[in-house]
Amino acid sequence: MGEVIVTMEVGSDGVALITISNPPVNALAVPILAGLKEKFAEAVRRDDVKAIVLTGKNGRFSGGFDINVFQKVHKTGDISVLPDVSVALVTNTLEDCKKPIVAAVQGLALGGGLEVAMGCHARVAAPKTQLGLPELSLGVMPGFGGTQRLPRLLGLSKAIDMMLTSKPILSEEGLKLGLIDAIVPPQDLLKVSRQWALDIAEARKPWVRSLHRTDKIGSLSEAREIIKNARQLVKRTAPNMPQHQACLDVIEEGIVHGGYAGVLKEVKAFNQLVVSDTSKGLVHIFFAQRTISKVPKVTDVGLKPRAVKKVAVIGGGLMGSGIATALILGNINVVLKEVNSEYLQKGIKTIEGNVRGLVARKRLGQAQAEKALSMVKGVLDYSEFRDVDMVIEAVIENVPLKQKIFSEIEKVCPPHCILATNTSTIDLNLVGEKIKSQDRVVGAHFFSPAHVMPLLEIVRTEKTSAQVILDLMTVGKKIKKSPVVVGNCTGFAVNRTFFPYTQGAHILLHLGVDLFRIDRLISSFGLPMGPFQLQDLAGYGVAVAVGKEFANAFPDRTFRSPIVDLLIKSGRNGKNNGKGYYLYEKGSKPKPDPQVFPIIEEAKRQVNIMPGGKPISITDKEIVEMILFPVVNEACRVIEEGVVVRASDLDVASVLGMSFPSYRGGIVFWGDLVGAKHIYESLKKWSEKYSNFYKPSRFLEERARNGVPLSAPLSTSASSRSRM
């Protein structure tokens, strides 16, 4: 890594060039902010300096404030480590400087980087520079005056949209909207910026302090209307996230009471948000996603990934065609194999539909789509397999069938070929039991729909080679997935951790709690849908098959409800045939179906666990806890057995694979926020009162008793027993 430093060179033209250097993105670390203050003070003092240009080294302006500082605040709760940037640096030092400052912006100016640039008196940019304020995605808001200056430079509507969505724009759009004053080729950037700064000094160009501008804000009543509409949108789209409303409050303050009042309120609001649970959760996930790529004895032993240019996918059903789509979009050639031409045509058509769907939603250009579709070839035999680098088997969950396929592909594929299965529950040792090359067997568990969902669970057995794992991790990144390496057990990490989710919902149903109330509360908690609607969506065949797997693996903590069998008997199959717990009609939202109530009554009659035959009385909070605490409990077992490398990997997997709300930091992080002691005591009480299903795990009990966070690393003796 290069040096973390701010440099200043004064040219013969009288312009001081101040450069930020902190590779790779010139983050505004605390020493950089101190260096900026020092260099600007020097430039102002010196008589040979007429004007100043601020830029970043190596073609990047700045990626923003160093968020490692947030982690420090979250660990200690001490906000005094946050430097005073907004008032002391951006407003007093830059904007109110006695000499003009031009920001020469290239590559990216994000977050604090853009806020510093907006404090300058003009902005000259290279083409295709990214400009944005993504702070809300970390649970905070722009804290260096961005909530005040962006609306004054861009106009209120667009500025609010950029902040609420955290999406950047390019300098070309910035120029049209007034955020950028000129776009010039990279090689001319410094020359033009220097001249621009001199032109301001000599009154040939305007000296603009953005905080004092009001021409783009519109009238007070127009501004209030725009903010009111934004508030209503946020209420619907981000109900559990305080940073959105707080950001709008601060923007409004500046419009009503002036920019400087807005800056002062912004500092206060930022300091409150940075210690909120939402910010803790989002910052945790941000760092956790960067840690999944570190796998002991795989990524730290000097291995280099091999090129995977051609992959065979066996099975063109929903999963197989989704996996094939993800691969061709990542520029990897695919051979899709099916058992007959009817199934093969159907698989190819699904892939075409997936790709065309992305074009229709403007996520993919027409030319890219054509190129992707030219990379897939359908086959009915193994003749094309002789030069593939990897095979992914994606057929139905049937052990003898999978074993037969693995024996066949071992014979026809080259000796370096990775042999992967997309099974979601079957033990990998069984799948590869009959073949010699067990070091090449690995699980590549995609989540449905495979070309959309971002998680790839890489499942290793005790025999899988480190090279195979590294190669699959590299393929995962190439096709824009987040690969999490996990150990081999029933359900692996994600499905196993979440198997109590539906079971807990079934228990509550049998205790007399309304299923639609349960779904409503879980949706309000932040999951995309409740457990019953999820069961409808997945189809009851899946529920029955998966239920059997888990009942066999964990008989001591499985609750068997007859509800799904009764629904199937009454001709329901969830969304597949339009009738489940809900009714599904094309073009309208799922509607609760009151006709399921008699079926539920029958289920409760067959398995009667209601104390004294009466429905239990329960609060909303307890319902959420009775569904999610058993999930945290199973996560504890997954951690203790070493199925995941570290607890934060399970947090990432829960967010990306099960859509657990990222602002709650993932399932283990959320468990720690709630507190192991409370979870342990609640589960113990319910296990005595209702069912063994709730029995706390040994790991949870130990952590609760000793006051140790669930996410704290395992002791060395425990990790030596691990499946990793």
CATH assignment at residue 174: 3.90.226.10
Is 537 found in the same domain as 425?
no
CB count in 10 Å sphere of residue 193: 30
CB count in 10 Å sphere of residue 301: 11
Question: Could you tell me the two tokens for 361?
Answer: 């939603």
Q: Residue 126, Cα to own-chain centre: how many angstroms? A: 30
Is 436 found in the same domain as 314?
yes
Phi and psi angles of residue 28, each rounded to the nearest 5 degrees, phi first: -85, 75
Domain of 564, CATH number, reads: 1.10.1040.50
Nearest to 549 by CA among 491, 601, 594, 503: 491
Reported as type and span, the H/E element at residue 241 is none
Cα dist. 623→347, 497, 640 in Å?
42, 19, 27
Is 355 found in the same domain as 219?
no
- Assess if residue 303 is contained within a domain: no
User: Where does 518-671 show beta strands of DSSP type E?
Assistant: 582-583, 591-592
Is 479 found in the same domain as 499?
no
Amino acid occupying residue 577: N
CA distance 446 to 454: 8
Phi and psi angles of residue 480, each rounded to the nearest 5 degrees, phi first: 60, 35
C-beta of residue 112 within 8 angstroms of C-beta of residue 144:
yes
pLDDT at residue 131 is higher than 90: yes
CA distance 372 to 357: 13
Is 633 found in the same domain as 499?
yes
Using DSSP's 3-state secondary structure scheme, residue 626 falls into helix
What local confidence, expressed as pLDDT, does residue 718 receive?
A: 52
3-state secondary structure 44-109: HHCCCCCEEEEEECCCCCECCECCHHHHHHHHHCCHHHCCCCHHHHHHHHHHCCCCCEEEEECCEE
Cα dist. 12→43, 55, 554, 665 in Å?
14, 18, 77, 53
* Domain containing residue 415: 310-488
Encode pLDDT of 590-638 as tens digits. 999 999 999 999 999 999 999 999 999 999 999 999 999 999 999 999 9
List all residues 6 or more positions away from 581 whose beta carbon is below 8 Å from its beta carbon.
515, 516, 532, 533, 535, 536, 567, 574, 592, 593, 596
Is 499 found in the same domain as 457?
no
Question: Could you tell me the two tokens for 564?
Answer: 């799904």
CA distance 272 to 258: 22
- Assess if residue 659 is contained within a domain: yes
Average pLDDT over residues 506-530: 97
For residue 720, name the pLDDT band (cuts at 50, 70, 90): very low
Residue with tokens 């309304």: 514
| DSSP 8-state secondary structure symbol assigned to residue 570 | T
Among residues 488, 503, 518, the one where a domain terminates is 488
Which strands, in side-by-side order, build the sheet including 130-132? 108-110, 130-132, 169-170
Residues in the chain, overall count = 724
pLDDT at residue 301 is higher than 90: yes
User: Which range, of 40-49, 211-220, 624-633, averages the lowest pLDDT?
Assistant: 211-220
pLDDT at residue 717 is higher than 70: no
Is 229 found in the same domain as 351?
no
What local confidence, expressed as pLDDT, does residue 200 receive?
A: 98
What local confidence, expressed as pLDDT, does residue 1 receive?
A: 57
pLDDT at residue 719 is higher than 50: no
Encode pLDDT of 337-384 as tens digits. 999 999 999 999 999 999 999 999 999 999 999 999 999 999 999 999
Cα dist. 47→15, 51, 577 in Å?
11, 11, 80
Question: Could you tell me the two tokens for 166?
Answer: 């955290």
Encode pLDDT of 304-338 as tens digits. 999 999 999 999 999 999 999 999 999 999 999 99
Q: What is the mean pLDDT of the chain?
A: 95
CA dihedral (522, 527, 531, 537) positive or negative: positive
289 or 718, which is more confident: 289
149 or 433, which is more confident: 149
- Assess if residue 333 is contained within a domain: yes
Is 172 found in the same domain as 50?
yes
pLDDT at residue 3 is higher than 80: yes
What local confidence, expressed as pLDDT, does residue 544 receive?
A: 87
Average pLDDT over residues 702-712: 96
Cα radius of gyration rounded to whole Å, the chain: 29
Among residues 488, 519, 542, the one where a domain terminates is 488
C-beta of residue 514 within 8 angstroms of C-beta of residue 607:
no
Among residues 229, 251, 275, the one where a domain terminates is 275
Average pLDDT over residues 232-258: 96
Residue with tokens 């081999």: 488
Domain count, the chain: 3
The residues that are catalytic are 115, 135
Phi and psi angles of residue 659, each rounded to the nearest 5 degrees, phi first: 55, 30
pLDDT at residue 27 is higher than 50: yes
For residue 216, name the pLDDT band (cuts at 50, 70, 90): very high
What local confidence, expressed as pLDDT, does residue 24 receive?
A: 95
- Assess if residue 722 is contained within a domain: no
pLDDT at residue 293 is higher than 80: yes
- Assess if residue 713 is contained within a domain: no
- Assess if residue 297 is contained within a domain: no
Amino acid occupying residue 370: E
What local confidence, expressed as pLDDT, does residue 368 receive?
A: 94
Is 220 found in the same domain as 141?
yes
Encode pLDDT of 381-401 as tens digits. 999 999 999 999 999 888 899
- Assess if residue 282 is contained within a domain: no
Which strands, in side-by-side order, build the sheet including 310-314? 376-379, 333-337, 310-314, 390-393, 418-421, 441-446, 455-460, 482-487
Is 482 found in the same domain as 616?
no
pLDDT at residue 724 is higher than 70: no
C-beta of residue 633 within 8 angstroms of C-beta of residue 683:
yes
- Assess if residue 295 is contained within a domain: no
List all residues 6 or more positions away from 589 whose beta carbon is below 8 Å from its beta carbon.
none
User: Which range, of 219-223, 280-284, 551-555, averages the lowest pLDDT?
Assistant: 551-555
Encode pLDDT of 408-422 as tens digits. 999 999 999 999 999
Amino acid occupying residue 620: D
CA distance 392 to 432: 13
Is 217 found in the same domain as 337?
no
Is 114 found in the same domain as 202?
yes
Nearest to 363 by CA among 605, 346, 372: 372
Domain of 367, CATH number, reads: 3.40.50.720
Encode pLDDT of 53-79 as tens digits. 999 999 999 999 999 999 999 999 999
C-beta of residue 671 within 8 angstroms of C-beta of residue 708:
no
